[in-house]
Copies of this chain bind each other. A is one copy, B any other.
Amino acid sequence: MKNYIDLNDIEDLPALIAEAIQLKKNNDQAQLGKGKTLGMLFFNASLRTRLSTEKAAKLLGMEVMVMNAGTDGWALEFEDGAVMNSDKAEHIKEAAAVLSQYCDIIAVRAFPGLKDKNKDEAEQVINSFKKYASVPVVNLESATGHPLQALTDAITVMELKKTEKPKVVLTWALHPRALPQSVPNSFADVMKRLDVDFVITNPEGYDLDKRITGDTPVVHDQKEALKDADFVYVKNWSSYDNYGQILNSDETWMFDLEKLKVTNNASVMHCLPVRRNVVIADEVLDSENSKVIHQANNRTFAAQAVLKNLLKS
Protein backbone atom coordinates (compact mmCIF):
# COMPACT_ATOMS: atom_id res chain seq x y z
CA MET A 1 0.00 0.00 0.00
CA LYS A 2 1.44 3.39 -1.03
CA ASN A 3 -1.26 5.73 0.25
CA TYR A 4 -4.77 5.29 1.63
CA ILE A 5 -6.70 7.92 -0.27
CA ASP A 6 -9.55 5.71 -1.45
CA LEU A 7 -10.57 2.06 -1.51
CA ASN A 8 -8.64 1.46 -4.73
CA ASP A 9 -5.48 1.75 -2.64
CA ILE A 10 -6.35 -1.57 -1.00
CA GLU A 11 -4.66 -4.43 -2.82
CA ASP A 12 -6.52 -7.29 -1.12
CA LEU A 13 -9.66 -6.27 0.78
CA PRO A 14 -10.46 -9.66 2.39
CA ALA A 15 -6.86 -9.95 3.59
CA LEU A 16 -6.94 -6.45 5.07
CA ILE A 17 -10.23 -7.21 6.86
CA ALA A 18 -8.77 -10.44 8.21
CA GLU A 19 -5.67 -8.59 9.37
CA ALA A 20 -7.73 -6.00 11.24
CA ILE A 21 -9.77 -8.73 12.96
CA GLN A 22 -6.54 -10.45 13.92
CA LEU A 23 -5.13 -7.20 15.37
CA LYS A 24 -8.31 -6.83 17.40
CA LYS A 25 -7.77 -10.27 18.92
CA ASN A 26 -4.07 -10.14 19.49
CA ASN A 27 -2.45 -6.75 19.41
CA ASP A 28 1.27 -7.13 19.61
CA GLN A 29 2.72 -4.84 16.98
CA ALA A 30 4.43 -2.19 19.06
CA GLN A 31 7.79 -2.71 17.37
CA LEU A 32 6.80 -1.98 13.78
CA GLY A 33 6.20 1.72 14.28
CA LYS A 34 9.01 2.39 16.70
CA GLY A 35 10.83 5.63 15.85
CA LYS A 36 8.16 6.49 13.25
CA THR A 37 5.86 9.49 13.45
CA LEU A 38 2.27 9.95 12.32
CA GLY A 39 1.27 13.56 11.65
CA MET A 40 -2.47 14.21 11.77
CA LEU A 41 -3.85 17.39 10.25
CA PHE A 42 -7.46 18.36 10.89
CA PHE A 43 -9.25 20.96 8.79
CA ASN A 44 -12.50 19.87 10.51
CA ALA A 45 -13.77 18.52 13.82
CA SER A 46 -13.28 14.87 14.70
CA LEU A 47 -13.80 12.58 17.66
CA ARG A 48 -13.67 8.93 16.56
CA THR A 49 -11.32 9.42 13.63
CA ARG A 50 -8.95 11.51 15.69
CA LEU A 51 -8.82 9.25 18.74
CA SER A 52 -8.99 5.87 16.97
CA THR A 53 -6.25 6.75 14.51
CA GLU A 54 -4.04 8.16 17.28
CA LYS A 55 -4.72 5.02 19.30
CA ALA A 56 -3.97 2.78 16.32
CA ALA A 57 -0.66 4.52 15.66
CA LYS A 58 0.38 4.24 19.30
CA LEU A 59 -0.55 0.54 19.35
CA LEU A 60 1.98 0.23 16.53
CA GLY A 61 4.58 2.06 18.64
CA MET A 62 4.43 5.26 16.56
CA GLU A 63 4.71 8.80 17.87
CA VAL A 64 1.74 10.99 16.96
CA MET A 65 1.65 14.74 16.33
CA VAL A 66 -1.80 16.31 15.97
CA MET A 67 -2.52 19.74 14.49
CA ASN A 68 -5.74 21.67 13.97
CA ALA A 69 -4.89 23.06 10.55
CA GLY A 70 -6.90 26.23 10.79
CA THR A 71 -5.91 27.45 14.24
CA ASP A 72 -2.54 25.92 15.15
CA GLY A 73 -0.76 26.57 11.85
CA TRP A 74 -1.12 28.74 8.75
CA ALA A 75 -3.94 29.17 6.23
CA LEU A 76 -3.01 27.10 3.17
CA GLU A 77 -3.08 28.05 -0.51
CA PHE A 78 -3.88 25.15 -2.88
CA GLU A 79 -3.99 26.88 -6.27
CA ASP A 80 -1.05 26.31 -8.58
CA GLY A 81 0.64 29.53 -9.63
CA ALA A 82 -1.25 31.66 -7.12
CA VAL A 83 0.09 35.13 -6.35
CA MET A 84 -0.13 34.82 -2.58
CA ASN A 85 -0.84 38.39 -1.58
CA SER A 86 -4.01 37.91 0.46
CA ASP A 87 -4.94 35.69 3.42
CA LYS A 88 -3.13 32.43 2.65
CA ALA A 89 0.31 32.36 4.26
CA GLU A 90 1.62 28.99 3.08
CA HIS A 91 1.31 26.94 -0.11
CA ILE A 92 0.42 23.26 0.05
CA LYS A 93 3.63 22.55 -1.90
CA GLU A 94 5.74 23.65 1.05
CA ALA A 95 3.35 22.44 3.75
CA ALA A 96 3.21 18.88 2.38
CA ALA A 97 6.93 18.75 1.67
CA VAL A 98 7.80 20.08 5.13
CA LEU A 99 5.41 17.72 6.92
CA SER A 100 7.09 14.92 4.99
CA GLN A 101 10.37 15.89 6.67
CA TYR A 102 8.91 15.50 10.16
CA CYS A 103 6.41 12.67 9.65
CA ASP A 104 6.61 9.15 8.24
CA ILE A 105 2.91 9.13 7.43
CA ILE A 106 0.60 12.15 7.01
CA ALA A 107 -3.13 11.84 7.72
CA VAL A 108 -5.55 14.58 6.65
CA ARG A 109 -9.20 15.40 7.25
CA ALA A 110 -10.85 17.97 4.97
CA PHE A 111 -14.61 18.15 4.44
CA PRO A 112 -16.30 19.44 1.26
CA GLY A 113 -17.76 22.92 0.92
CA LEU A 114 -20.94 21.37 -0.57
CA LYS A 115 -21.32 24.46 -2.76
CA ASP A 116 -19.39 23.54 -5.91
CA LYS A 117 -19.63 19.90 -7.00
CA ASN A 118 -16.69 20.08 -9.39
CA LYS A 119 -14.46 21.61 -6.76
CA ASP A 120 -15.39 19.03 -4.15
CA GLU A 121 -14.95 16.16 -6.61
CA ALA A 122 -11.49 17.45 -7.51
CA GLU A 123 -10.54 16.56 -3.89
CA GLN A 124 -8.03 19.38 -3.90
CA VAL A 125 -6.84 19.06 -0.30
CA ILE A 126 -6.19 15.32 -0.06
CA ASN A 127 -4.94 15.08 -3.65
CA SER A 128 -2.57 18.00 -3.12
CA PHE A 129 -1.11 16.28 -0.08
CA LYS A 130 -0.75 13.09 -2.12
CA LYS A 131 0.92 15.03 -4.92
CA TYR A 132 3.37 17.06 -2.85
CA ALA A 133 4.09 14.79 0.12
CA SER A 134 7.02 12.41 -0.13
CA VAL A 135 5.54 10.04 2.47
CA PRO A 136 2.27 8.03 2.47
CA VAL A 137 -0.94 10.00 2.91
CA VAL A 138 -4.04 8.71 4.73
CA ASN A 139 -7.55 10.03 4.13
CA LEU A 140 -9.28 10.81 7.45
CA GLU A 141 -12.42 11.79 5.48
CA SER A 142 -12.21 13.93 2.42
CA ALA A 143 -14.75 15.78 0.32
CA THR A 144 -16.20 12.66 -1.30
CA GLY A 145 -14.95 9.65 0.64
CA HIS A 146 -14.24 8.20 4.08
CA PRO A 147 -12.30 5.01 3.36
CA LEU A 148 -11.21 4.35 6.97
CA GLN A 149 -14.88 4.33 7.94
CA ALA A 150 -15.71 2.07 4.99
CA LEU A 151 -13.00 -0.42 5.98
CA THR A 152 -14.39 -0.36 9.52
CA ASP A 153 -17.86 -1.02 8.17
CA ALA A 154 -16.65 -3.92 6.07
CA ILE A 155 -14.88 -5.41 9.09
CA THR A 156 -18.05 -5.02 11.15
CA VAL A 157 -20.29 -6.70 8.57
CA MET A 158 -17.83 -9.56 8.11
CA GLU A 159 -17.53 -10.05 11.88
CA LEU A 160 -21.24 -10.00 12.61
CA LYS A 161 -22.79 -11.68 9.60
CA LYS A 162 -24.71 -14.88 10.31
CA THR A 163 -25.32 -15.99 6.74
CA GLU A 164 -22.96 -16.52 3.84
CA LYS A 165 -24.34 -13.60 1.84
CA PRO A 166 -26.18 -11.17 4.09
CA LYS A 167 -28.60 -8.54 2.85
CA VAL A 168 -27.16 -5.08 3.62
CA VAL A 169 -29.35 -1.97 3.25
CA LEU A 170 -28.03 1.58 3.26
CA THR A 171 -30.92 3.84 4.18
CA TRP A 172 -31.12 7.63 4.12
CA ALA A 173 -32.65 9.54 7.05
CA LEU A 174 -33.46 13.20 7.64
CA HIS A 175 -30.91 15.51 9.28
CA PRO A 176 -31.18 19.21 10.18
CA ARG A 177 -27.92 20.10 8.41
CA ALA A 178 -26.62 19.46 4.90
CA LEU A 179 -24.10 16.62 5.21
CA PRO A 180 -21.45 15.33 2.78
CA GLN A 181 -21.89 12.16 0.72
CA SER A 182 -18.47 10.89 1.78
CA VAL A 183 -19.63 8.16 4.20
CA PRO A 184 -22.42 6.72 2.02
CA ASN A 185 -20.14 6.93 -1.03
CA SER A 186 -17.41 4.90 0.61
CA PHE A 187 -19.88 2.51 2.22
CA ALA A 188 -21.49 1.81 -1.16
CA ASP A 189 -18.07 1.43 -2.70
CA VAL A 190 -16.89 -1.12 -0.13
CA MET A 191 -20.10 -3.12 -0.09
CA LYS A 192 -19.85 -3.58 -3.87
CA ARG A 193 -16.50 -5.26 -3.24
CA LEU A 194 -17.90 -7.79 -0.74
CA ASP A 195 -20.10 -10.83 -1.26
CA VAL A 196 -23.28 -9.22 0.07
CA ASP A 197 -26.76 -8.48 -1.27
CA PHE A 198 -26.52 -4.68 -1.20
CA VAL A 199 -29.45 -2.27 -1.59
CA ILE A 200 -29.67 1.51 -1.18
CA THR A 201 -32.88 3.26 -0.21
CA ASN A 202 -33.40 7.03 -0.24
CA PRO A 203 -36.08 9.54 -1.25
CA GLU A 204 -36.31 10.75 -4.84
CA GLY A 205 -33.65 13.38 -5.46
CA TYR A 206 -31.16 11.85 -3.07
CA ASP A 207 -29.62 9.22 -5.36
CA LEU A 208 -25.87 9.06 -4.87
CA ASP A 209 -23.35 9.47 -7.69
CA LYS A 210 -24.13 6.65 -10.17
CA ARG A 211 -20.41 6.29 -10.95
CA ILE A 212 -20.02 5.05 -7.40
CA THR A 213 -23.22 3.09 -6.80
CA GLY A 214 -22.98 1.40 -10.23
CA ASP A 215 -25.61 -1.32 -10.58
CA THR A 216 -26.56 -1.32 -6.89
CA PRO A 217 -30.38 -1.32 -6.70
CA VAL A 218 -31.71 2.03 -5.48
CA VAL A 219 -35.21 1.67 -4.02
CA HIS A 220 -37.27 4.73 -3.14
CA ASP A 221 -39.70 2.80 -0.91
CA GLN A 222 -37.84 2.45 2.37
CA LYS A 223 -39.97 -0.37 3.84
CA GLU A 224 -39.70 -2.44 0.71
CA ALA A 225 -35.92 -2.03 0.76
CA LEU A 226 -35.58 -2.91 4.45
CA LYS A 227 -37.46 -6.20 4.11
CA ASP A 228 -35.42 -9.13 5.44
CA ALA A 229 -32.29 -6.98 5.81
CA ASP A 230 -29.51 -8.53 7.94
CA PHE A 231 -27.71 -5.19 8.25
CA VAL A 232 -29.15 -1.70 8.09
CA TYR A 233 -26.72 1.21 7.73
CA VAL A 234 -28.56 4.44 8.53
CA LYS A 235 -27.06 7.70 7.30
CA ASN A 236 -28.11 11.11 6.12
CA TRP A 237 -26.60 12.81 3.12
CA SER A 238 -27.45 15.94 1.15
CA SER A 239 -28.59 15.73 -2.44
CA TYR A 240 -26.02 14.87 -5.07
CA ASP A 241 -28.09 16.00 -8.05
CA ASN A 242 -29.12 19.28 -6.41
CA TYR A 243 -25.65 19.40 -5.02
CA GLY A 244 -25.39 19.94 -1.28
CA GLN A 245 -29.07 20.77 -0.87
CA ILE A 246 -31.65 19.54 1.66
CA LEU A 247 -34.67 18.85 -0.54
CA ASN A 248 -37.38 17.93 1.94
CA SER A 249 -38.13 17.54 5.61
CA ASP A 250 -39.52 14.02 5.52
CA GLU A 251 -39.27 12.79 9.10
CA THR A 252 -40.84 9.47 8.17
CA TRP A 253 -37.43 8.19 7.09
CA MET A 254 -36.19 8.03 10.72
CA PHE A 255 -35.18 4.46 11.55
CA ASP A 256 -37.36 3.28 14.43
CA LEU A 257 -38.60 0.05 15.97
CA GLU A 258 -41.43 -0.33 13.48
CA LYS A 259 -38.90 -0.35 10.65
CA LEU A 260 -36.56 -2.67 12.49
CA LYS A 261 -39.42 -5.19 12.63
CA VAL A 262 -39.53 -5.31 8.83
CA THR A 263 -35.92 -6.55 8.79
CA ASN A 264 -34.47 -9.96 9.60
CA ASN A 265 -33.67 -8.80 13.17
CA ALA A 266 -31.01 -6.64 11.53
CA SER A 267 -27.78 -5.32 13.02
CA VAL A 268 -28.09 -1.53 12.91
CA MET A 269 -25.02 0.50 11.96
CA HIS A 270 -24.13 4.20 11.82
CA CYS A 271 -20.75 5.93 11.54
CA LEU A 272 -21.56 8.35 14.40
CA PRO A 273 -22.15 11.03 15.55
CA VAL A 274 -25.84 10.19 15.25
CA ARG A 275 -28.77 12.52 15.92
CA ARG A 276 -31.00 10.54 18.27
CA ASN A 277 -34.73 10.58 17.48
CA VAL A 278 -34.03 12.31 14.18
CA VAL A 279 -31.87 9.80 12.30
CA ILE A 280 -32.34 6.74 14.55
CA ALA A 281 -34.88 6.43 17.40
CA ASP A 282 -33.74 5.89 20.99
CA GLU A 283 -35.61 2.55 21.04
CA VAL A 284 -33.32 1.22 18.31
CA LEU A 285 -30.04 2.78 19.48
CA ASP A 286 -30.64 1.46 22.99
CA SER A 287 -31.56 -2.04 21.77
CA GLU A 288 -29.41 -5.10 21.28
CA ASN A 289 -29.68 -4.62 17.54
CA SER A 290 -27.60 -1.45 17.62
CA LYS A 291 -23.98 -2.18 16.73
CA VAL A 292 -22.82 1.43 16.56
CA ILE A 293 -20.42 1.17 19.53
CA HIS A 294 -19.02 -2.15 18.33
CA GLN A 295 -18.53 -0.45 14.96
CA ALA A 296 -16.79 2.58 16.51
CA ASN A 297 -14.42 0.24 18.31
CA ASN A 298 -13.45 -1.31 14.96
CA ARG A 299 -12.21 2.11 13.80
CA THR A 300 -9.01 1.48 15.77
CA PHE A 301 -8.26 -1.82 14.06
CA ALA A 302 -9.14 -0.57 10.58
CA ALA A 303 -6.73 2.32 11.08
CA GLN A 304 -4.12 0.01 12.53
CA ALA A 305 -4.33 -2.40 9.59
CA VAL A 306 -3.90 0.49 7.15
CA LEU A 307 -1.01 2.10 9.05
CA LYS A 308 0.67 -1.28 9.41
CA ASN A 309 0.51 -1.85 5.66
CA LEU A 310 1.83 1.64 4.95
CA LEU A 311 4.71 1.16 7.38
CA LYS A 312 5.64 -2.16 5.81
CA SER A 313 5.87 -0.79 2.29
Contact = CB atoms under 8 A, between A and B. Distances in A.
Contacts of A292: 94
A83 B52 contact: no
Contacts of A30: 35
Interface string A282-309: 1001100000110011001000000000
Nearest to A81: B282
A91 B113 CA distance: 25
A236 to B, nearest CB: 12
Taken together, the copies of this chain in the complex come to: 3
Contacts of A71: 45, 68, 71
Q: What does DSSP make chain A's interface, helix, strand, loop or mixed? A: mixed
B65 A55 contact: yes
A68 B46 CA distance: 11
A55 B99 CA distance: 11
B89 A273 contact: yes
17 contacts: A45-B74, A47-B72, A51-B103, A54-B65, A74-B273, A81-B282, A83-B277, A84-B275, A84-B276, A84-B278, A85-B278, A90-B272, A91-B274, A93-B285, A94-B293, A98-B272, A101-B300
Nearest to A34: B30
B58 A63 contact: yes
